[in-house]
Structure 1
């Protein structure tokens, strides 16, 4: 059912056949249409979502009404509001599908039970949290030490397909500048390549 997730898990922990069967018995696969939500501000996040296909964005809305994208989730990435999920508190975020998408859901009701039945999953999720934390620190470091142009160049170099995949205004929000500034950067890059 979830070979893609099992393949991803196998890069970090080894689950035997019995553990794989137990895990799969707890998982749900859900299809989400473009622009539909997994989470809206004020709701308690009820799942951890492993992206099988498609793309999601996690964002908040500022006091001025602007959307600030904090994270994207694409194939083989997890996305969730971990604070809301773990503490059962309302979320300040939205998680919305950017494309028609499919996710594996681990619901909050079975999360701890899975750790009890398959202790190796605690190691796996610890490693995933460490990676997410490292990425968040790296993004913060870029925002504090690099110019907007340098942030765009680095992101484009590290994720070239992703830059072409998402709408320009979303990329600009994620990188912390306006869509107009991003258009200017792209035009400048095209001129320098020509």
Structure 2
């Protein structure tokens, strides 16, 4: 007599574990095969049709039909058997993890796009590998990466500061004069 098995089990008394069936759908309760196919990262063979064979090194995806990208992953050309992601990060700066095939978004740079760009002029993106600004910096910033505050005051700023100090002194003198007149 055939009994219903709980999710992801099959066979007599439901003691056998299902393989990695696609979309977490349970396997056939009688023979254990995945009627809907396998999840990424595993495959079936004629002698082992249970979706429990890991993709061979260098392959990934559904039925292990996709090849890992060569020369982009740090440490080796092996990739995650399900997603194809680089296991130890990107080999080159300027690319987003985990796939290491997409350039950093504007405003970020470096290995794994882990750093923020400086204040490049007019919002120009920095070099995605090095972080260097391709031209000038926004006003108030200096350096190759436009991350250092410009410590020098512009002549106009100095003039405004002097005028402000003069008004402050004149105001204080005016108050002192008013107090002197009031006491007389």
TM-score normalised according to structure 1 size: 0.23
Higher strand share: 1
**Bigger RCO of structures 1 and 2 (CA < 8 A, at least 6 apart):** 1
Q: Which has the higher Rg, Structure 1 or Structure 2?
A: 2
